[in-house]
A and B are shown apart, each in its own frame.
Chain A
């Protein structure tokens, strides 16, 4: 099939970007979306143009590298998929596909479709851990964890840190990402001791880094490729309040 692409091109963080149009023929339905871009890049390179820069690594939905805003949706059409899991069967001959990087003040674009998401690591540094040094752990089975808590912690822990939640949110809030981590660690007895403090410092860091505040629109949950639930935000808010009462 033949498709029309409108792709955001930007040389580097300091340059102005703009959309550039490409016609791409010979696209087949059994390509993945990223393989379609590989194919575009091959034709660009062979005809003497600069290929489009985009991020990817595992190409199976687990590393969180891929991060394209496709036709107005983070990770494109389809629910519970990352960009790399998206297949070209979703599109048909003659379609126009608009591809942008994540847009958020805290995720500056560094080239074409690549945004700098290191702010997520900074938030994690503020408290996304359990303070246990190597060697001081008790025997693994000495603290039982109910299967319910453990399963729910796991659900929260499946966040791949892709940033789609931020890109989906009109306020560019990182609440879902922060909530997933706080929930994961709070639900486990091992992480409980630090939970109020953790919530407070991660939220403070998120604010400091320029992410917006959460107004409960739910856009993040709708676009999260891992189905992280808004319920985690409610838990985060509870932990946050506890911290307020104590502090």
Chain B
């Protein structure tokens, strides 16, 4: 059915990356200076790739939509970054890290890629520490680790509650050093609107200058997308509100397959929605579940103050359902269980759409001081937003869209199905299967950018050393630019009555209700129809003030939302097609008698990769079969 070539090197799992590195083609320094590479995105994956490619001698053109590359969404990561250093001597190893990621992803990721991600994780920590990332240390002066995300070893490096900010600043500093040297040209406040493909190869991008509105053409010998995830499709999510799918979606429409789009991680511990104006859901770190107990009242619709509800009247439903793991079950399991209770009428708060996260027992046992030392900043943040002091009464939490495991299909070289187009970080699909483990994304982003892409892109560029600098005065650029301008003009021309945000909210609600934590056939079919109708309404009634030639934030939003309609539809198609439950994807039709996810390996051990086939049409499916030679496929059980 498909001819997807994942290009996994031969040989034993543990030797694949080394033998691949030894066999890829190299580019001489003189030739590197003649090769241009575009990198879209300056998050952890992009910034680490940009600095490394520039150090190698390529000419790099870097893009981001924020005013400064340092503000990419990676700054928001809180909990930490994994590596298999085994500093705690607790039996950790590259193999164990690999095994945990594969198992956590519910056996829907590619073994070889995951093993490599685990393998380079140690070097990443070395690199970051050398670049000045102030990871937490013990009194001895050596690096500290903690256990995170329900695994049995302590392998997570962290910088208080702002690991992402510190890791990104490390990568950003490497990148600005190269800007200063003239090896990187930085284009901030740019939106990538389209990918330019010439004779089947990625050769450039079309961008909009967000200050002047000017449409620009940029060419290169290869293009790298590091444009992050699309969890903002739900409107409310834990992501920075500017996060979007436009860059990957443009690449998709130009021929790059999009894999497992419906695999979205819903994080169990976010602040619940407070009102209709809310623009964003704030994540409360997963670590809180180490000392907090989750409960709802046993009585339906019990509206009493939580402190008045006695111990016997509380249902600690995670402890009840999952005695072995209790409050520490994986994210997807905790999220679904919260939804189940709230849907059944046991939820708390004004809307009934939240559950309690209670610290009273831990405070009683260890004292307020100890709890404050561990979570002080999180408690403060909670109080700042809700006005409730969690030392005195339980927090209220609810699940929120958080991370997209799906993304552009890439082979072992991180190249998409378009030659010369690469995808790294959250924008690709490759390492987390159907569910991502905590602290695994920063690890993957930095590994891709510092150590993997710079090697594999060389193999491609070695074949381009005779290609002169690409001119932007060619019909392919002209066509892409014209199409981008036409799309912007038609958005502005609608001149309807409803704001872009109102459409985004409605789309988000459809996605959340029907393609969120729980999915079923009827709902997904409905969702597809509803999205089509909403999209039609959008193109007839959206109101975007202002013009093309100025700073126009409504127009920026409209471009993103227009793409979200198309992506949302594909997510539903993907979720419909996968009639099994796996990881974060829960199909009601596929559950065990106890209501747990039922994976169906015989039918669904594949990566679903979708080909674009024209506006409004269903996509065409290509399957990449997954084989597991180095791990035993087990049922995930947390009972």
> A residues bordering B, Cβ < 8 Å?
11-12, 28, 30-32, 34-36, 38-39, 42, 45-46, 48-51, 53, 55-60, 62-65, 81, 85, 87, 89, 110-111, 114, 116-118, 120-121, 124-126, 128-141, 143-147, 150, 153-154, 157-158, 160-161, 184-185, 188, 190-191
- List of B residues within 8 angstroms of A132 by Cβ: 127, 130-131, 174
A64 CB to nearest chain B CB (Å): 6
Residue of chain B at shortest CB distance from A145: B141
- List of A residues within 8 angstroms of B128 by Cβ: 140
> Are A31 and B277 in touch, CB under 8 angstroms?
yes
> Are B173 and A134 in touch, CB under 8 angstroms?
no
> Are A53 and B131 in touch, CB under 8 angstroms?
no
A189 CB to nearest chain B CB (Å): 10
Query: With the chains together, A150 CA to B138 CA distance in Å?
Result: 10
- List of B residues within 8 angstroms of A53 by Cβ: 551, 553
> Are A121 and B68 in touch, CB under 8 angstroms?
yes
Report if B493 contacts A (CB, 8 A): no
List the one stretch of B158-166, B194-202, B366-374 in contact with chain A: B158-166
> Are A128 and B554 in touch, CB under 8 angstroms?
no
> Looking at the complex, which one of A28, A111, A129 makes contact with B551 (CB distance below 8 Å)?
A111
Residue of chain A at shortest CB distance from B450: A134
| A-B pairs, 8 with minimum CB distance | A144-B141, A137-B130, A129-B173, A125-B180, A154-B134, A137-B126, A140-B129, A134-B52
> Are A65 and B66 in touch, CB under 8 angstroms?
yes
A22 CB to nearest chain B CB (Å): 16
**Chain B interface size range:** 35 or more
Report if B211 contacts A (CB, 8 A): yes
- List of B residues within 8 angstroms of A153 by Cβ: 132, 134
What are the interface flags for B148-174 relative to A under an 8 Å C-beta threshold, 1 for contact and 0 otherwise? 000000000001101011100100111
> Looking at the complex, which one of A30, A48, A63, A141 makes contact with B240 (CB distance below 8 Å)?
A63
> Are A60 and B76 in touch, CB under 8 angstroms?
yes
A144/B142 contact (C-beta < 8 A), A118-B67, A184-B134 known: yes
| Beyond A45-B499, A147-B139, 8 additional pairs, beta carbon < 8 A | A58-B71, A62-B75, A63-B66, A63-B73, A120-B68, A129-B176, A134-B450, A157-B166
- List of A residues within 8 angstroms of B554 by Cβ: 45, 51
- List of B residues within 8 angstroms of A121 by Cβ: 68-70, 176, 179, 186, 188
> Looking at the complex, which one of B172, B278, B451 makes contact with A35 (CB distance below 8 Å)?
B278
- List of B residues within 8 angstroms of A131 by Cβ: 177
> Are B497 and A46 in touch, CB under 8 angstroms?
yes
A125/B176 contact (C-beta < 8 A), A34-B279, A46-B497, A137-B127 known: yes
- List of A residues within 8 angstroms of B631 by Cβ: none
A125/B179 contact (C-beta < 8 A), A60-B282, A85-B384, A160-B165 known: yes
> Are A126 and B180 in touch, CB under 8 angstroms?
yes
- List of A residues within 8 angstroms of B126 by Cβ: 137-140
- List of A residues within 8 angstroms of B125 by Cβ: 140
> Are B501 and A42 in touch, CB under 8 angstroms?
yes
Report if B268 contacts A (CB, 8 A): no
> Are A140 and B543 in touch, CB under 8 angstroms?
no
Residue of chain A at shortest CB distance from B386: A30
A138 CB to nearest chain B CB (Å): 7
> Are B66 and A57 in touch, CB under 8 angstroms?
yes
A38/B543 contact (C-beta < 8 A), A125-B176, A130-B130, A134-B51 known: no
> Are A147 and B138 in touch, CB under 8 angstroms?
yes
- List of A residues within 8 angstroms of B177 by Cβ: 125, 129, 131
Query: With the chains together, A35 CA to B501 CA distance in Å?
Result: 12
> Looking at the complex, which one of A55, A114, A117, A157 makes contact with B134 (CB distance below 8 Å)?
A157
A227 CB to nearest chain B CB (Å): 12
- List of B residues within 8 angstroms of A48 by Cβ: 545
A42/B70 contact (C-beta < 8 A), A114-B551, A137-B127, A158-B162 known: no
What are the interface flags for B431-461 relative to A under an 8 Å C-beta threshold, 1 for contact and 0 otherwise? 0000000000000000000110010000000
Query: With the chains together, A129 CA to B19 CA distance in Å?
Result: 34
Query: With the chains together, A220 CA to B87 CA distance in Å?
Result: 40
B127 CB to nearest chain A CB (Å): 5
> Are A38 and B132 in touch, CB under 8 angstroms?
no
- List of B residues within 8 angstroms of A89 by Cβ: 387
A-B contact pairs, 18 of them (CB 8 A): A35-B278, A38-B501, A50-B546, A62-B165, A65-B67, A117-B68, A124-B176, A125-B179, A130-B173, A134-B454, A135-B451, A139-B126, A140-B125, A140-B129, A141-B87, A157-B169, A160-B165, A190-B129
Query: With the chains together, A34 CA to B134 CA distance in Å?
Result: 31
Residue of chain B at shortest CB distance from A159: B169
Report if B8 contacts A (CB, 8 A): no
> Are B71 and A45 in touch, CB under 8 angstroms?
no
A46/B384 contact (C-beta < 8 A), A118-B67, A129-B176 known: no
> Are A116 and B274 in touch, CB under 8 angstroms?
no
Query: With the chains together, A64 CA to B76 CA distance in Å?
Result: 11
Task: Please report which residues of chain B, range 470-506, place their CB below 8 angstroms from some CB of chain A when the two chains form the complex.
Answer: 497, 499, 501-502
> Are A116 and B277 in touch, CB under 8 angstroms?
no
Query: With the chains together, A55 CA to B48 CA distance in Å?
Result: 25
Report if B600 contacts A (CB, 8 A): no
B42 CB to nearest chain A CB (Å): 11
> Are A190 and B130 in touch, CB under 8 angstroms?
yes
Task: Please report which residues of chain B, range 241-286, place their CB below 8 angstroms from some CB of chain A when the two chains form the complex.
Answer: 241-242, 274-275, 277-280, 282-283
Report if B385 contacts A (CB, 8 A): yes
Query: With the chains together, A21 CA to B191 CA distance in Å?
Result: 32
Query: With the chains together, A38 CA to B138 CA distance in Å?
Result: 44
> Are A154 and B160 in touch, CB under 8 angstroms?
yes
- List of B residues within 8 angstroms of A147 by Cβ: 137-139, 141
- List of B residues within 8 angstroms of A146 by Cβ: 137, 141
A63 CB to nearest chain B CB (Å): 4
- List of B residues within 8 angstroms of A36 by Cβ: 277
A157 CB to nearest chain B CB (Å): 5
Residue of chain A at shortest CB distance from B165: A62
Query: With the chains together, A111 CA to B126 CA distance in Å?
Result: 42
Task: Please report which residues of chain B, range 501-559, place their CB below 8 angstroms from some CB of chain A when the two chains form the complex.
Answer: 501-502, 543, 545-546, 550-551, 553-554
Residue of chain B at shortest CB distance from A54: B553
B305 CB to nearest chain A CB (Å): 18
> Are B71 and A63 in touch, CB under 8 angstroms?
yes
> Are B76 and A58 in touch, CB under 8 angstroms?
yes
Residue from A55, A118, A128 with most neighbouring chain B CB atoms (10 Å): A128
Residue from B76, B277, B501, B550 with most neighbouring chain A CB atoms (10 Å): B277
Report if B140 contacts A (CB, 8 A): yes
Query: With the chains together, A138 CA to B129 CA distance in Å?
Result: 9
Report if B393 contacts A (CB, 8 A): no
> Are B240 and A137 in touch, CB under 8 angstroms?
no
> Are B142 and A141 in touch, CB under 8 angstroms?
yes
Residue of chain A at shortest CB distance from B186: A121
Residue of chain B at shortest CB distance from A65: B71
B499 CB to nearest chain A CB (Å): 5
A236 CB to nearest chain B CB (Å): 16
> Looking at the complex, which one of A63, A118, A135, A190 makes contact with B188 (CB distance below 8 Å)?
A118
A87/B132 contact (C-beta < 8 A), A134-B451, A147-B137 known: no
Residue of chain B at shortest CB distance from A117: B67
> Are B279 and A59 in touch, CB under 8 angstroms?
yes
> Are A154 and B127 in touch, CB under 8 angstroms?
no
> Are A39 and B176 in touch, CB under 8 angstroms?
no
- List of B residues within 8 angstroms of A46 by Cβ: 497, 499, 543
B458 CB to nearest chain A CB (Å): 14
